[in-house]
Amino acid sequence: MSEDVKSKFKKFNKEFKDYCISKKSPAILLAVSKTKPLSQIIDLYEEGQKTFGENYAQELRDKNLENLSAAAKNLAWHFIGQIQKNKIKYIVGTTALIHTVDSYGKAALISSLCEQREIKQSILLQINISNDKNKAGIKREDAKSLVKKIKTLERIQLKGLMTITEFSDDPEKSRPFYRDLRLLAMELKEELLYRPELSMGMSDDYRVAIDEGATIVRIGSKIFGERKKTL
């Protein structure tokens, strides 16, 4: 890992932990490692970072296979990308947590694969809390009925909610949406039966997300720098 990435991680990790302590927050940092080589991920792992988020199913599969012979045995993968039904097989059982389930059909496919493999899979329900037509996720008003249906799938462990808001130069614009996701989780307390995970916030608005109750914050550019856009 370049010294630049290493120093970025150390600086931001301290900043993140200090802010969590100041807010008495249990939030964890999820390092978004899409397109980054496994060697960088293992270097970060050796610096103390244990959870990594991947967006692409086949890239996750390849990194996980490569890591089987590496030293990072306690590394935990999270899947945070769009779920493609024909690639679910690559993420079920490989990931500690799938963040982006947004339909009963996808949950049922995951459950079916879990039955075949005799495992259980933890997931989050993705909510389009801001009603952004460019974002995936179900509408807020549909969440309760979908949660009840998913809870009937014995191989699925529904751990909480996830959302992605529109990027803005002003982090405060995300606050009402993160607050609303927390309120929705409270409304679903009877269905979820435990303190739910709330996956929300990224590099530019992580403080606001922590303020509003995030338990998992997805951080990419603050650690790895800006990614090159591909055509």
Give the pLDDT mean for 162-172: 91
How much of the chain, in percent, has pLDDT values that exceed 90? 78
In a domain, 84, yes or no: yes
1: pLDDT strictly greater than 50:
no
In a domain, 229, yes or no: no
In a domain, 45, yes or no: yes
- The pLDDT assigned to 51 comes to 96
Burial category of 165 from C-beta neighbours within 10 Å (exposed 0-12, middle 13-18, buried 19 and up): buried
- The pLDDT assigned to 189 comes to 85
- The pLDDT assigned to 230 comes to 46
**3-state secondary structure string, the chain?**
CCHHHHHHHHHHHHHHHHHHHHHCCCCEEEEECCCCCHHHHHHHHHCCCCEEEECCHHHHHHHHHHHCCCCCCCCEEEECCCCCHHHHHHHCCCCCEEEEECCHHHHHHHHHHHHHHCCCEEEEEEECCCCCCCCCCECHHHHHHHHHHHCCCCCEEEEEEECCCCCCCCHHHHHHHHHHHHHHHHHCHHHHCCCCEEECCCCCCHHHHHHCCCCEEEECHHHHCCCCCCC
168: pLDDT strictly greater than 60:
yes
**Domain at 34, CATH number:** 3.20.20.10
Give the pLDDT mean for 137-163: 96
In a domain, 231, yes or no: no
Q: Give pTM, 2 decimals.
A: 0.94
In a domain, 183, yes or no: yes
106: pLDDT strictly greater than 70:
yes
Please state, in angstroms and rounded to a whole number, the distance separating the CA atoms of residues 196 and 61. Answer: 27
Domain that holds residue 54: 3-224
In a domain, 91, yes or no: yes
Give the pLDDT mean for 179-196: 88
Give the pLDDT mean for 11-15: 96
In a domain, 79, yes or no: yes
Please state, in angstroms and rounded to a whole number, the distance separating the CA atoms of residues 230 and 198. Answer: 30
2: pLDDT strictly greater than 90:
no
pLDDT in tens, 49-85: 999 999 999 999 999 888 876 667 789 999 999 999 9
- The pLDDT assigned to 122 comes to 97
- The pLDDT assigned to 133 comes to 87
The total of structural domains in the chain comes to 1
Burial category of 101 from C-beta neighbours within 10 Å (exposed 0-12, middle 13-18, buried 19 and up): buried
In a domain, 161, yes or no: yes
